[in-house]
Amino acid sequence: VIGLLDCHGFAYLTLPDNAADTPYLLSNYDVRWTTQYQARHDHLRDPVPRHARQVSELFAWTPDIAARFDPAARDLFCESEAFGIRCGITVPLRNSGRTVAAMTLVTDVKRSRYLSCVRYNVFALQLLAQSSHARLQRLRQEGREINGIVFTHREMECLEWASQGKSRTDITLITGLRYRQVVRALEHAKAKLGVRTTTQAVRIYAAYKVSRGTS
C-alpha cells in the first residue's frame, strides 16, 4: 500500500492527555525536524494531530488543513515543507473510545493521485496502522519492568540516557523534555528502585540490561 501511494515518510505519534507531556514519536523524517519538533513541543500547534483528536476515520491532508487553525499552525506547515513534509494520510488510533495516537504517511505525489489511492486502500491503510500501533505498544511495554517494578516510558528513557553518562541538561536537549520533567522522572525511578542517587539507579538499570542481553 505504501508503495502504491509513493509515500516516502512515516510518523507514529502518541497523543497524551496531559498537554505538558512530551509525546512518543517514531519516524523516519529528517532527524533535524523531529528533534526540533519534540524540543519545541510542536505537537501542540500541529493541525494534523489536533485534527486526529476530533475524528475517528482516516483522513488525507494538505497544507490547506492549517487554514482551519491558527497562524502558528500555518507557520509550522511552512517550516515542514523544507523537510519534504507537504501532504499525507493520517489514521487516528483509538483505545477505549479515545484517540491515543496517530499514524501518518507522507507523500509528495500530486494530490489527485494520492487521494484516489487512499479511497481504494482505506481498509489496508487502517489495518496497517492498527497492527503497527498494537506492535509498538507491546514493544514499548516490554522492558519497562525491572525486578518486578513497572516504570513509565519517560523514566526508562531518562535512565537509559543517564546510563550513557548524560547529565540532566544533556537529557533535556536529547529528548525535548523540560528540565523539571527529567528531574522528576529520575527521582521517581530512584524511589521505585529504593535508592538515593542516580548512580545507584543506573547501576541497577545496567545490571538489568545485562540480564536481558541488551547492553
pLDDT digits (tens, 9 = 90+) for 20-46: 777 888 888 888 898 889 888 899 889
Spans of the chain below 50 pLDDT: none
pLDDT digits (tens, 9 = 90+) for 147-158: 767 788 889 889
pLDDT at 87: 82
Question: What's the rounded Cα separation, in Å, for the pair 7 and 60?
Answer: 13
pLDDT at 17: 82
Question: What's the rounded Cα separation, in Å, for the pair 21 and 156?
Answer: 15
pLDDT digits (tens, 9 = 90+) for 125-144: 888 888 888 877 776 666 57
* pTM, entire model: 0.63
**Cα 159 from chain centre:** 19
At residue 102, φ and ψ (nearest 5 deg) are -145, 135
pLDDT at 139: 62
Question: What's the rounded Cα separation, in Å, for the pair 37 and 15?
Answer: 14
pLDDT at 25: 86
For 163-184, b/e burial (b = at least 16 CB within 10 A) is beebebeebbebbbbeeebbee
